[in-house]
Amino acid sequence: MIPGPLLFARYAFPPNERGYCGPADHAALHGYGMAGVSDPGLVLLARAFAGAWPYLQLIAAANRIADPLDARVVAAYWVGNSLLDNAPMSDFGPFLEEAFRPRAGRGWAPIAGTVVAGAVPHHSFHVFCVYPWTGLLRAGRSEPSLHVLDRCRIGWGRVVSAPDDGTVLVRQHPLTWDGRSFGLGPAEPRPARIGFVASLAPGDWVSLHWDCVCDRLTSAQVRTLSGLTRRHMWLAQTGTSAGRHRTAELADL
């Protein structure tokens, strides 16, 4: 198993490189990922991700795991696993209020509604229900909102080809928006950077963040990630979700 801090770096680096979240020194995060080194310096970089770090703390505490960067905790947040079942809403609600209510302002009520409706502390919740982009879609601002949501969610797909040039072609389902609801379109080939994952081959299932391969996935992980993504897509478009005409600017990531 990949050490938790390195697994975190794999998923966090693509948006960090673009300046969307985390510390300014994205070169340091890239260096750790390429070297495969996990040390206290990498832990400090991970703690600087103000959007992701509170979720890791919540998942770890709910499962009585001392280290928020335990590999199981990191995988739960980015991809999903059984640890999310142990994060009760009674803990999740207060966490959300403390972490995001001051920045949500009038947009707080719909976020709180998703907790009651079945949200879990997964990255797709933050993307679809906390980020302002769903509200901007409802307000008619489809671009760049749809593009950002599609790339910021953790996607999944199957490698079609892997030329020896640092890229792969991956068949994946694009995010769609019909003016009222989200969907996933037919799988289509998209180019992606290999990132920190070596020796990819046609047929491999992979996860993606901002068109960068983050990790190999098992079929079970694909089903889990797909299910959690669809859950929060649905919550973001129901009457209890953050998707109801919300344009508040919240935390990045």
For 61-72, how does the pLDDT look when each residue is reduced to its tens digit (9 = 90+)?
999 999 999 999
Q: pLDDT tens for residues 22-51?
A: 888 889 999 998 888 889 999 999 999 988
Residue 247 pLDDT > 80, yes or no?
no
CA–CA dist 198, 241 (Å, integer) = 39
Mean pLDDT of 143-150: 90
Residue 164 to residues 15, 86, 152, 226, 243, Cα–Cα distance (Å): 24, 42, 26, 29, 41
Q: Which residue has the tokens 């809403």?
A: 89
Residue 252 pLDDT > 50, yes or no?
no
Q: For residue 129, how many other CB atoms are within 10 A of its CB?
A: 25
Domain boundaries defined on the chain: 4-84
Q: How confident is the model at residue 9 (pLDDT cuts 50, 70, 90)?
A: very high
Q: pLDDT tens for residues 197-226?
A: 989 999 999 999 999 999 999 999 999 999
What's the whole-number average pLDDT of the chain? 86
